[in-house]
Chain A
Amino acid sequence: MEETMTQPRQVAGFGRDLKSEEMVISMGPQHPSTHGVLRLELVVDGEVVVDVIPHIGYLHRCFEKHCEHMTNYQQVIPYADRMDYVAAMSNEFGYVVACEKLLKIKVPERVEYIRVIMAEFSRIVSHLIAIGTYGMDIGAFTPFLYCMRDRERVLDIFEQTCGARLLYNYMWIGGLSHDVPAGFTEKVKDFCRYFRSKIKELNDLLSYNKIFIKRTANVGVLPAAVALNYAVSGPVLRGSGVKWDLRKNDPYSVYDRFDFEIPVGQGLKGTVGDCWDRYMVRIHEMEQSVNIIEQAVDGLPAGDIASAIPKRIRPDAGDVYVRTETPKGELGYYIVSDGTATPFRVKVKSPCFVNLSALPAMSRGAMIADIVAILGSIDIVLGEVDR
């Protein structure tokens, strides 16, 4: 039976019955606008896209299989970093929260606050890359450089805290690898002050640019009902006008203590759920992240960041599903423990994977050039799609 099941099946688009006007074009796997190695098979009728078939897996590194072959739970964290490598802090966050729930550990307040600060910084970093590369996809090169300049400041803060700029291994089960350095509070406040004015600059430069709006408004509309059926999350879901953010709707860590808004798409420049709405949600989320960081840094309690780190990590048999709001959306960890020191199963519900699966629903009937705009507005990282 295995023989028949592993037979290579006909690759979707090339095998289908095409009408005489239709043609199949391969976009990627090496294409600047696919943000990594992703191949899109476009069935086109002239310039109009009839169907899109994404082919993924080029970056598949068997994350889940690796997890089962670790010697302990802690070793998974550096691998988790490497899924969504532009927002590694958020990946760690979900994993440690899941493990702590499984181990029934209560984490010190100080750790929770620092984690929230780091997770929000990583949201800013991720959104800056999303916005910068999105501008570049559409033909605006300058905003990318502005975004990279501001991102650098956040990376400096990360570097001063834990020594790494991209892949941190910072959040540990029960604690953190380092406490924040001296002068952290001032640096963070400086950044917040600086960054608020830069968001305005970015708005003037890109968000309300006439050409940018022409390219993104009314393009790739995803209605709310379809979005929920595809279980898309993060800015893609909120862009469709659904007020759903796990930080508010299913609070974890200490998010219930902070005062912030959930921005949603309103169709200001076109239809609710178009590319511009998804883009704009990210801009507003950065503002909200700055708010959260300021509140967290003001309320940062004293304490020992290592006091709750367990000596021996051996959870009771059981399973847990924990979802957290990463910059890309709902990142879920389904961890099954069989009572040993190694996870029996770690399944990652990756927001990019799910959001990308909704791409065909957004793109049918669009122009080829719009596919670039739609794909950029989903903001995928192939490291997380393929794991």
Chain B
Amino acid sequence: MIKITNLNKTYRSKTGDVYAAKNVTLSINDGEIYGIIGYSGAGKSTLVRCINLLEVPDSGTIEVNGQTLFDSSVGDDGKIKASVVKGKKLSEARRGIGMIFQHFNLLDRSTVFDNVAYPLKYCGIKKEEISSRVTELLDLVGLSDKKDAYPSQLSGGQKQRVAIARALANRPSVLLSDEATSALDPDATESILSLLKELNHKLGLTIVLITHEMSIIKTITDRVAVMEDGEVVEQGDTYDVFSKPRADITKKFVNSASALSKLDELLENDEFLRNAKKNRRLIRLTFDKNSVGDAVISELSRKFSVNVSIVLANVDILQAGTLGNLVSVIDGREDDIEAALDHLCKCSVGVEVI
């Protein structure tokens, strides 16, 4: 369990203060994959670095697996007093939190074996034990045959696998992933994501994943927080956020991951669609996991004598289920259209007239 409450972090610069985290409160459950999405500069990197104290916050509290790593209180003089875990305790706490990075950050002059062994060395662990643990880890990430290779001999995806093995060396309960797939090609991205999913299932690993790509959030996360200018503007189950985005930025992200992003472009260029006349409406329907299988459209034209033509359609497959989106033009007599839209609302289909 990771608990972050009222976290604040400000960077001071000549041009003014930059809020990297503003009153952030989050709790991440054991064994879930939690996504944090935002544009660059939204503060998500800072937030995730606060979890293992690579960045020290200004105020707030951070608790990981029952251990308070950072706490602050306001003293009598109105100044913030912070207490941070330091030295040996901090090192120990960090060993319980693995982290992987966008650029892998492997040691170029060490072999794959030595890279994975890095966190195990100088901790009083016997050589044979290190060796067997590293072998086990490389097996887990599917790189047993690359033991003696150097990072420069590996592809991006393989490098990230080595980094994952290294991050898991001390059997952490939490893995922080900072844009871990942003530097990879689509194939490697997919394979790393499925590896993370597998590790989440197999080891019960809690994964906190930062990204700016909604498609990643969509494929693997259970819950998500959307960040903008240091603030969490929206959070919840990924499915809910996806099917009913509230904040503008969330809508933008959701659209970016589906074919519906083309809608605006289409409206702009297509006179026919833009000029919604009488007896014709442009509607957007959202089918959630309960209604996605129903034959709503054909039912509609049969029952209400309206014509429905599909402009755009998209199905998203999320961790928690399927989500359908449909933009269509509905033609017919005014009262038929009204009745049809009424019917749609009853069928637990989200209706929006554009």
Same assembly: no
Chain A residues with a Cβ under 8 A of chain B = none
Chain B residues with a Cβ under 8 A of chain A = none
